[in-house]
Amino acid sequence: RATSGPALSVLLDFRDDAFNPRSGAAASLEVRVSDGLASRLSADLPDEASWVRSEGGVTAWLPLGPDAGNPGLVFRLRGGVAAVGRSGTLPVEERFRLGGGSSVRGFEPDSIGPANLASSADLNLPDAIAPIVDWASRNNARWIPTGGDTMLLTGVELKLPFTSLGLRGWDTWQLALFADAGNTWFRKEGITTDSMQTQDDPFLRYSVGFGIRRSTVVGPIQLDLGFNPSPITERGETAAITGFIPMQLHISLGAL
| Segment 116-132, tens digit of pLDDT | 988 766 566 676 666 66
| Segment 45-58, tens digit of pLDDT | 666 678 899 999 99
SS3 at position 245: coil
Angle, alpha carbons 214-218-224 (nearest 5°): 40
pTM: 0.85
- The whole-angstrom separation of Cα 80 and Cα 56 is 6
Angle, alpha carbons 238-243-249 (nearest 5°): 65
pLDDT at 231 over 60: yes
SS3 at position 67: coil
**CA distance from start to end of the chain:** 29
Total Cβ atoms within 10 A of residue 135: 9
